[in-house]
């Protein structure tokens, strides 16, 4: 794996996303590369040392997840008081906003969790090495439903990697194609039976299955 040595962002072109997802599974759940199954992403996150908390991250519910790379404070939203509040979190904390997750086009908690695992797996060096002027604050990435206007180019690159790799972890190419071959998927038809069946088998959303079928040239 190559890194950009100036900022420690890994260089991962989209053609490598499947390979990175396979490397991740070889390390954390090799069984998922042998047979079609629901990847136990909660257990994998726990094995990686990540602790998940479900909190409200923004008033507009447009930030669905965050991974915290260094101990420190982070602003979260309190829907009861209608106010933002600063709270201290430990590194390796993953925050998920369940309301905002519903607004993403692959809206399921498993995909969000896989997405945050990719950030920890591939992007922790970047955040560790960032020059930081506010030591009390945590270093973290925020994952939004739509691209944030203040996101930097570095952040957009890493966000693109996490968006691309997460569904490939939950539906690894070879076993996904193997499972999909059990159904008669016909181009131009709605194929609901296959989509429901695969969503159930891999425990992901139907939208996620449709995107994956298209990526694998099956739809």
Residue 63 binds Zn ion, judged by CB under 5 A: no
- Span of 13-21, 24-32, 158-166, 182-190 interacting with Zn ion by CB under 5 A: 158-166
Compute the C-alpha angle 200/12/138, nearest 5°: 85
Q: Which is nearer to Zn ion, 24 or 180 (CB)?
A: 24
- Span of 9-17, 22-30, 52-60, 156-164 interacting with Zn ion by CB under 5 A: 156-164
Residue 41 binds Zn ion, judged by CB under 5 A: no
Residue 50 binds Zn ion, judged by CB under 5 A: no
CA 28/CA 18 separation, integer angstroms: 15
- From residue 66 to residue 95, the character string flagging contacts with Zn ion as x (rule: CB under 5 A) and all else as - is ------------------------------
**b/e per residue, 121-157, with b = 16+ CB within 10 A?**
bbbbebbeeeeeeeeeebbbbbbbbeeeeeeeebbeb
Residue 162 binds Zn ion, judged by CB under 5 A: yes
| φ/ψ (deg, to 5) at 123 | -120, 5
**H or E element: which one contains 143?**
strand 140-144
Residue 198 binds Zn ion, judged by CB under 5 A: no
Choice from 94, 143, 194, 204 touching Zn ion (CB under 5 A): 143
Q: Which is nearer to Zn ion, 39 or 143 (CB)?
A: 143
Which residues are bridge partners to 3 per DSSP? 10
Residue 9 binds Zn ion, judged by CB under 5 A: no
Q: Nearest approach, Cβ of 159 to Zn ion (angstroms)?
A: 5
Beta strands in 40-109 (DSSP E): 51-54, 63-68, 72-78, 83-89, 93-96
Which spans of this chain sit near Zn ion (rule: CB under 5 A)? Answer: 143, 159, 162
């Amino acid at each position: 794996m190559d890194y950009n040595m100036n900022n420690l962002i890994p260089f991962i072109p989209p053609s490598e996303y499947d390979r990175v997802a396979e490397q991740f599974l070889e390390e954390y759940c090799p069984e998922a590369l042998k047979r079609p199954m629901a990847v136990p992403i909660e257990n994998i996150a726990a094995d990686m040392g990540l602790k998940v908390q479900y909190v409200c991250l923004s008033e507009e519910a447009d930030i669905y997840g965050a991974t915290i790379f260094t101990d420190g404070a982070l602003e979260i939203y309190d829907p009861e008081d209608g106010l933002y509040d600063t709270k201290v979190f430990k590194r390796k904390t993953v925050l998920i906003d369940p309301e905002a997750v519903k607004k993403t086009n692959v809206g399921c908690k498993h995909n969000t969790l896989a997405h945050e695992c990719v950030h920890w797996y591939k992007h922790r060096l970047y955040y560790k090495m960032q020059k930081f002027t506010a030591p009390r604050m945590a270093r973290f990435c925020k994952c939004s439903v739509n691209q944030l206007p203040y996101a930097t180019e570095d952040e957009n690159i890493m966000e693109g990697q996490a968006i691309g790799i997460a569904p490939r972890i939950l539906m690894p190419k070879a076993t996904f194609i193997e499972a999909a071959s059990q159904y008669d998927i016909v181009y131009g038809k709605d194929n609901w039976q296959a989509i429901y069946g695969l969503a159930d088998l891999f425990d992901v959303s139907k939208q996620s299955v449709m995107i994956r079928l298209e990526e694998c040239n099956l739809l």
